[in-house]
Structure 1
């Protein structure tokens, strides 16, 4: 599914489409996987006996064992601990960036649909400019000038992802604005803000949920890619992308250093995708 092409079934759609609106088994699998990752990350201090920063030079690059289930890295740090704490970093940054990006996308999408004219032209122009600039290039420019702290990282993630929600919301909102009940609301004296809150926002919420979930998957992958390139969360803080980069040079002698954080990252990205696809079917969103 191409997320930017999502649409929402309107009241006149056929019963056959509505009959598909069930949360699929794959969606439940996605929820379970993501739930396990979130709970395990939150309970990391309880689940692991080692600090993610604790170094043991006598236990460098030990393979998985009873004392270190995911093995250790080249500084003797417990990989299981770093994977779980890395989940805290990756998932929290993803959540914050997704919320901000979704809020910006919804606000600009509804504004463009309601006001039209120069408002829509400016918002659409900003979206086109963002799409024309590769996100990695944007990240290199921004992070090279302002540093690699959490604030600039969030700016990069939001700047590279708000367009998805914007285009989805604006496209559907523009189709809803032309409906008779919207015109009736205008004639009854409701202002544009009231129309947006009472009619447009409830109408686009299902699409928002789908776009938010799929967007979170892209943001998580981007955050990990920046970490892999050394542009994300900086050491010694555990981060999945940085851990994969650290283990890349030792794939032949100590593959577990990169294998476990890479596998958990893939599971997280896939879980978001599964949930997004299931929500698209549940709410009648389609390409």
Structure 2
């Protein structure tokens, strides 16, 4: 075994305590616990939608259009006679999948950029951060609307647009952490033993930036769900007959006085999802902030 490999094993700081602190803080943080429960329940509803949905979400019963809640249709039916509860359960799949996919694509772009900028510094840092600032100048919603006008409405355009602009937050967070970590003694020791720059970044610097990345992911997922719902509400997201919370909210808004649950039910699901991820992110932030550790929330 090379001397650099031996040195690396001795120089890497322990990381198990971070995840133990996360679990402990979530248990102690009431809002974070509630957020985690909400997220788990919503994910289970989305995964088990084919098993628990009482009807086919695309089946139309034109004799039961806009019917109120009943023993057969717990939340009533929509304007085409489709079961609203089934539509909401299947809509959870689209909204949650979009939020997670948008966030992880944005993180996949922003984390390497921020890590490279923060660790290398100098001209590379200046160039990458100016590019990041340039992207921050464009309003993401306006860009999504422009892409939809140019390429046509669709969920793929929403995901692509969010990823193209959502990475900037991850890049700035990781850069800030990398600027701190690169000056720590164990990084200096790794350089002294001859470890390559690439290996130091991914074996030593990157693991020490995971905590704020996890918090940012949790909060960004909620924001991505809100963006997808807003775009679908405008009719530029998923297209009929696919179910999504934002699209159900848009159609139900027309019949708000006749069937209130047509809009209230998907709106409540959007609110629960966004609040759940935000509560979880708040709890994770408390777990990783040394000024707040040890205080019950």
**Fold-level match, TM-score > 0.5?**
yes
**Equivalent residues of 1:207, 1:285 under 8 A apart:** no
Q: Describe how 1:47-126 pairs up with structure 2 within 5 A.
A: 47-126=52-131
**Equivalent residues of 2:119, 2:175 under 8 A apart:** no
Deviation for aligned residue 1:194: 0.8
Deviation for aligned residue 1:286: 7.8
Deviation for aligned residue 1:181: 2.3
Deviation for aligned residue 1:209: 0.5
| Matched residue, 1:281 | 286
Tell me if 1:220 matches 2:210: no
Separation of aligned partners in 2, 1:286 and 1:146: 48
Deviation per residue, 1:26-66 (Å, 9 max, x gap):
11111111111111111111112211111111101111111
| Matched residue, 2:25 | 22
Separation of aligned partners in 1, 2:259 and 2:290: 44
Of 122, 126, 137, the match for 2:142? 137
**Equivalent residues of 2:46, 2:89 under 8 A apart:** yes
Judged with a 3 Å threshold, the aligned counterparts in structure 2 of structure 1 residues 285 and 232 are, in CA distance, closer, same or farther, namely farther
Tell me if 1:243 matches 2:257: no
Q: Following TM superposition, where does structure 1 have runs of at least 4 consecutive aligned residues deviating by more than 4 angstroms?
A: none
Judged with a 3 Å threshold, the aligned counterparts in structure 2 of structure 1 residues 50 and 214 are, in CA distance, closer, same or farther, namely same
**Equivalent residues of 1:98, 1:215 under 8 A apart:** yes
> Quick check: 247-256 or 85-94, which moved more?
247-256
| Matched residue, 2:199 | 194
Deviation for aligned residue 1:184: 2.0
Separation of aligned partners in 2, 1:168 and 1:58: 55
**Equivalent residues of 1:280, 1:286 under 8 A apart:** no
**Equivalent residues of 1:109, 1:166 under 8 A apart:** yes
Tell me if 1:175 matches 2:175: no
- Cα RMSD of the aligned pairs, angstroms, is 2.2
**Highest Rg: 1 or 2?**
2
The answer for unaligned runs of 5 or more in structure 1 is 1-10, 12-17
**Equivalent residues of 1:157, 1:223 under 8 A apart:** no
Tell me the TM-score normalized by structure 2.
0.86
Separation of aligned partners in 2, 1:259 and 1:123: 44
Separation of aligned partners in 2, 1:84 and 1:229: 21
| Higher RCO, Cα 8 Å, sep 6+ | 1
